[in-house]
Amino acid sequence: MNAARRWKARAEHVLGLMYKNGLGVSQNSRAAAKWLSKAAEQGHAGAQYHLGLMYASGRGVPQDDKAAVQWYTKAAEQGNARAQNSLGDMYYNGRGVPEDYKAAVAWYTKSAGQGNDCAQYSLGFMYDNGQGVPEDEAVAAQWYTKAAEQGDSRAQNNLGAMYAHGRGVPQDDKAAVQWYLKSAEQGHADAQHNLGAMYYNGRGVPEDYKAAVAWFTKAAEQGNASAQMNLGAMYTHGRGVPQDDKKALEWYLKAAEQGNARAQNNLGAMYATGRGVPQDDKKAVEWYLKAAEQGNARAQNNLGAMYATGRGIPQDEKAAVQWYLKSAEQGNADAQNSLGFMYQTGRGVPQDDKAAAQWYTKAAEQGNATAQTNLGFMYDNGQGVPEDEAVAAQWYTKAAEQGDSRAQNNLGAMYAHGRGVPQDEKAAVQWYLKSAEQGNARAQNNLGAMYAHGRGVPQDDKAAVQWYLKSAEQGHADAQNNLGNMYYNGRGVPEDYKAAVAWYTKAAEQGNDWAQHNLGAMYYNGRGVPEDYKAAVAWFAKAAEQGNASAQTSLGAMYTHGRGVPQDDKKALEWYLKAAEQGNADAQFVLGFIHYAGQGVPQNHTAAVEWFTKAAEQGDAVAQHSLGFMYQTGRGVPQDDKAALECFKKAAAQGLSGSLEALGEAHEKGRGVPQDYTVAMEWYTKAAEQGDAEAQHALGAMYENGRGVPKDYKVAIEWYTKSAAQGKEGAEAEYALGAIYAHGRGVPRDEAMAAACYEKAAAHGNAIAKYTLNLMRTPGRGVPEDYKAALEWCKVAAEGGEAAAQHALGVAYDDGQGMPEDDEAAVECYAKAAAQGHAEAQHHLAVMYENGRGVAQDSEKAAQWYAEAAAQGYVGAA
> Is the predicted pLDDT of residue 427 greater than 90, yes or no?
yes
d(C-alpha 441, C-alpha 446), whole Å: 9
Neighbour-count burial of 483, counting CB atoms closer than 10 A to its CB (0-12 exposed, 13-18 middle, 19+ buried): buried
List the one residue out of 437, 460, 440, 462 whose CA is nearest residue 450.
460
Q: Is-contact 289 258, C-beta < 8 A?
A: no
Burial 613-640 (b: 16+ CB within 10 A, else e): bbbbeeebbbbbbbbbbbbbeeebbeeb
Q: Is-contact 632 639, C-beta < 8 A?
A: yes
- The pLDDT score that the predictor gives to residue 795 is 78
d(C-alpha 349, C-alpha 763), whole Å: 82
The alpha carbon of 571 is separated from its chain's Cα centroid by a whole number of angstroms, namely: 43
List the one residue out of 820, 874, 873 whose CA is nearest residue 847.
874
Angstrom CA distances, 4 to 189, 744, 846, stand at: 48, 124, 151
Q: Give the amino acid at 634.
A: G
3-state SS, 431-445, equals: HHHHHHCCCCHHHHH
d(C-alpha 771, C-alpha 543), whole Å: 50
Question: What is the pTM assigned to this prediction?
Answer: 0.46
> Is the predicted pLDDT of residue 599 greater than 90, yes or no?
no
> Is the predicted pLDDT of residue 536 greater than 60, yes or no?
yes
HSE-CB for 403 with a 13 A CA cutoff: 6
Q: Give the amino acid at 376.
A: G
d(C-alpha 592, C-alpha 629), whole Å: 12
Mean per-residue pLDDT, 315-322: 93
> Is the predicted pLDDT of residue 785 greater than 90, yes or no?
no
∠ CA 33-39-40, rounded to 5°: 80
Cβ-Cβ contacts under 8 Å for 220 (sequence gap 6 or more): 193, 227, 228, 231, 251, 254
Tens of pLDDT along 323-364? 998 899 899 998 999 899 999 999 999 998 999 999 999 999
Q: Is-contact 445 474, C-beta < 8 A?
A: no
Q: Is-contact 268 287, C-beta < 8 A?
A: yes
- The pLDDT score that the predictor gives to residue 869 is 85
Number of CB atoms found within 10 A of residue 652's CB: 25
- Residue bearing the bigger pLDDT, 811 or 420: 420
Express as a percent the part of the chain with pLDDT over 90.
72
- The pLDDT score that the predictor gives to residue 303 is 95
The alpha carbon of 158 is separated from its chain's Cα centroid by a whole number of angstroms, namely: 42
Tens of pLDDT along 196-236? 999 999 999 999 999 999 999 999 999 999 999 999 999 99
Q: Element (H or E) spanning 167, and its range?
A: none
> Is the predicted pLDDT of residue 773 greater than 90, yes or no?
no
Q: Is-contact 196 230, C-beta < 8 A?
A: yes
Mean per-residue pLDDT, 674-698: 91
Tens of pLDDT along 818-858? 678 888 888 888 899 889 888 888 888 888 888 898 889 98
